[in-house]
Chain A
Amino acid sequence: MKLLSVSNLTLGYDHAVVARNLHFEVNEGDYLCIVGENGSGKTTLMKTLLGICDKVSGDVIFGNGITKNEIGYLPQQTIVQRDFPASVKEIVISGCQARLGFRPFYTKKEKELAAKNMEKLGITELADRCYRELSGGQQQRVLLARALCAAGKILLLDEPVSGLDPQITGEMYELISKLNVDGMTIIMISHDIQAAIRYASHILYMSDDIFFGTAGEFMASEKGKLFIEYEKLNTRRAV
């Protein structure tokens, strides 16, 4: 089932074009990794998909009856959040805000959903802790639980592992991968091309000439080969 199709999309901020001619599709159960250099428009693409940024031209079509408030989103952390006095419980349930409609308060059902998602991500015992006192990895789990509260079928993640140490990064990838296996469609921005190849089903490489295809196709492409060479070089240098 096709969940999202993007055709001939041009991205930009205030008339400055960031990227053009984007074509790709996301089907139910896919795991799409968006990679590319800094400034290639990865975050802008994600914000455009979410409707936070306006597109310059082209089409973004969500299929299969997905409405805007069924998309889970894990943004990059902001400075405001770093010392925010809020409990984990409060943050996770704010993922249900779109379900409120015109009601002022959350219902029992929404509280249960929040509890369920906290359990899924193993942060139930942190529920009453303060967000600013948590480690980076725990904070990301909290934000992921919040995203799950909003997500019906599709989850958009903007660099979920940035700033995490290698072990926590690995755990985070496993967690996301598990969500994908359980049926959640994932679109993730990443700097980590190796992890992208390892976990993702599809790759969108953003640069002057854009690549979109399965992870296997990416490995076989010129760009993929170049990347693998580069990685080898890096590992050799590290040794």
Chain B
Amino acid sequence: MEKLLFYMQYPFVRYALIVGVLIALCSSLLGVTLVLKRYSYIGDGLSHVAFGGIAVASVVNLTNRMTLVLPITIISAILLLRTGHNAKVKGDAAIAMISVGALAFGYLIMNVFGTSSNLTGDVCTTLFGSTSILTLTMTDVWLCVIMSVFVVAAYVLLYNRIFAVTFDENFARAVGTKVDFYNLLIAVVTAIIIVLAMNLVGSLLISALIIFPALSAMRLFTSFKNVTVFSAVFSVVCALVGIIVSILAGTPVGSTIVAIDAVGFAICCGGSLAGRKLA
């Protein structure tokens, strides 16, 4: 505990906690919709696209990588989510194609044109996020706070429509809800969250932040509202515990958070089984 308080004096630790919690919150909200719409894998696909974007950005030596990575990821998200139903290449195949394609090109570009002396280290950082969350600047934190406020506000205000579009697109469309607009919004927000979350867990582990909270909540709860709320709480608690453990034990932040998410999921599974036996 003393050690924790000692670390809390450092601003970078506080920044990491704030950003971690906010990203966990946003990704879990969106995760419920994505998992239920059968788009669990989109987080993975898009994060690989973002990895490709970062590779290009670092090769051309952009000072602010976000200006390139964010638009690329958003466009990919729109393409993937929009062509979901009647595309020539079906949803899951399209995601797999884009994701491995971007990963391969990203690494290729970094390798061929890269100027860094520590290529393996760079790649590892981008993939697993190792230390970047502990090197956040004030600007990063504010960017993250603003984005999170936007995501949470949009989610709360559009909650009923998001439910309607997730549960039954055809019905929503039939009664005049602008389904395409909401799908587009979900795609854009997903892309934003993924780009932000790369700082936290790196591009390989982002799916975990999206999937685990939603799946854990779905084990225990039976209404959409409770699933959403629990998934947000679950995700925030896991991120908080994960960051603290990683600081105290000196483990990598991203994988610690994901490991705790996985343990939480196992507990929820156990809880659901026990509940069924009692009933």
- A contact set with B: CB distance below 8 Å: 14, 47, 50-52, 68-69, 71, 73, 75, 78-81, 84-87, 89-91, 94-95, 97-98, 100, 104-106, 128-130, 132-133, 146-147, 150, 156
Main SS at interface, chain B: helix
Q: Are B175 and A98 in contact (CB under 8 A)?
A: yes
Total residues of chain B contacting the partner, CB 8 A: 31
Q: Of A73, A90, A97, A156, which is within 8 A of B224 by CB?
A: A90
Say yes or no: A51-B222 contact (C-beta < 8 A), given A94-B163, A94-B167, A105-B160.
Answer: no
Q: Are B170 and A98 in contact (CB under 8 A)?
A: no
Q: Are A90 and B176 in contact (CB under 8 A)?
A: no
- B contact set with A: CB distance below 8 Å: 36-38, 86, 156-161, 163-164, 166-168, 170-177, 217-218, 221-225, 227
Q: Are A75 and B160 in contact (CB under 8 A)?
A: no
Say yes or no: A90-B163 contact (C-beta < 8 A), given A85-B222, A98-B175.
Answer: yes
Q: Are B158 and A94 in contact (CB under 8 A)?
A: no
Most chain B beta carbons < 10 A, residue from A75, A97, A130, A150: A97
Q: Are A81 and B167 in contact (CB under 8 A)?
A: yes
A-B interface pairs (CB < 8 A), number? 97
Q: Are B174 and A90 in contact (CB under 8 A)?
A: no
Q: Are A100 and B160 in contact (CB under 8 A)?
A: yes
- Nearest residue (CB) in A for B175 is A98
Q: Are B164 and A85 in contact (CB under 8 A)?
A: no
Q: Identify 4 new A-B residue pairs, CB closer than 8 A, beyond the known A81-B167, A86-B224.
A: A69-B175, A80-B36, A97-B175, A130-B223
Q: Are A52 and B174 in contact (CB under 8 A)?
A: yes
CA separation between A146 and B223, bound complex, in Å?
Answer: 16
Nearest-neighbour CB distance to chain A for B213, whole angstroms, equals 13
Say yes or no: A100-B175 contact (C-beta < 8 A), given A78-B168, A90-B225, A91-B167.
Answer: no
- Nearest residue (CB) in A for B223 is A87
Most chain A beta carbons < 10 A, residue from B157, B163, B174, B217: B174
Chain A residues within an 8 Å CB radius of B157: 104
CA separation between A91 and B36, bound complex, in Å?
Answer: 15
